[in-house]
Amino acid sequence: MKLPSGSLVMLLMVAGLCAGVSPPAPVPEPVPVPLDQEEYLDAEDWFRSGLALNGSGNYREAAEAFARSISIEPENPLAWLNLGTARALYGDYADAIPALEKSVHLDPKLALGFANLGEVFFRSERFGEAVEAFTTLLTLWPEDHNAHYKRGLAYLHLQEAGKARAEYLTLKTVDPELAGKLLQAIEEGTVHN
């Protein structure tokens, strides 16, 4: 005999009720506690909270959590990286830069720190510093095509079209799409972020 969908569950519930077994109580969903009322024990707890907040788009609260992590463990380059990144994500480039600089100072091989620092310098129109950050990134991670592209755009802003063209030639064989965008910017004499 074929039963309609869901009938088996209903039969099991009825059988359980007849046998004196009550169905499990519904589990209420936890209500998030405001960040200022959280009780964390250590830097790692604050760091994980920052990651969760960042992942849900709550960048200001994430920055606060990373700052609290840093207050407990100030030599953690990943906490500084995430603090700077969260600040950049809500548009506070001025405060993002020192945090990102601290992250790469603590770990000079932190490629993502240089990537984010270069991007924030670029968005802050500090193109010379963006070139430096992307150059360091490319020594650590030569395959980063976006770093070549952004460095080429930064060179255009610095009126160094020859260096921008060199970035285009590098990109031409490894990422034709980005190379095309950079070439278009070079030919138009305009820069697209």
Residue 112 has pLDDT above 70, yes or no: yes
Q: 8 pLDDT band (50/70/90 cuts)?
A: very low
- Which amino acid is residue 22, in one-letter code? S
Pairwise CA distance, residues 97 & 139, whole Å: 21
pLDDT tens-digit map of 70-88: 999 999 999 999 999 999 9
Q: In order of start, what are the domains of the chain with their CATH numbers?
A: 40-108 (1.25.40.10), 110-193 (1.25.40.10)
What pLDDT sits at residue 36?
A: 53
In whole angstroms, give the CA distance from residue 33 to residue 23: 29
Q: How far apart are CA 19 and CA 8, in angstroms?
A: 16
User: Which structure tokens are listed for 181?
Assistant: 């965008």
